[in-house]
Amino acid sequence: MVSTCFVVGCSTGYKSNKEKTPIFRAPKNDTNFVLWQKSIPRIDRKFSRKDFVCAKHFKEEYVIKTRTILNTAHPLKVWKLAADAIPTLNLRDSDNQATKKRNARSKHNSKLEPVDLEFPVSPHSLQLL
């Protein structure tokens, strides 16, 4: 399962975005979790413990590049966040975004009145050629 960034307008984790950006799970600490919830504005849903935020939304000083693990020929960087890290960068106001729920489609056919299309059919009007 691929994880995507919770921040409105961020494309980290989506197939359309080929850029590899580290992503971090919501903090387990209740105090920090509430701070993350408050710092990320979104009107369509609330930040939960299962959500992720990518490194683009943290100041460089909060991202700790702890170690490099070699996997085949490609070095893999495993990054961590500082204990007091709070997302503060590139956070958009969700009021101006297209995440608002759309209105249901109106049934334009419901205004039409039924039309009686009965035609008189008699055995004489139907003749085989």
- pLDDT for the residue 120: 63
More confident residue, 71 or 13: 13
Specify the pTM.
0.62
Considering the domain boundaries, does residue 35 fall inside one?
yes
Q: Which domain holds residue 47?
A: 1-97
Question: What does pLDDT average to over the chain?
Answer: 78
pLDDT digits (tens, 9 = 90+) for 87-110: 988 877 644 444 455 566 666 555
For the chain, how many structural domains are there in total?
1
Q: Which two tokens stand for residue 86?
A: 């709070």
> Does residue 49 register a pLDDT over 80?
yes
In a domain, 129, yes or no: no
As a whole number, mean pLDDT of residues 2-6 equals 87
Comparing C-alpha atoms, which of 50, 60, 52 is closest to residue 88?
Answer: 60
Domain assignment of residue 123, yes or no: no
User: Residue 59 falls within a domain, yes or no?
Assistant: yes
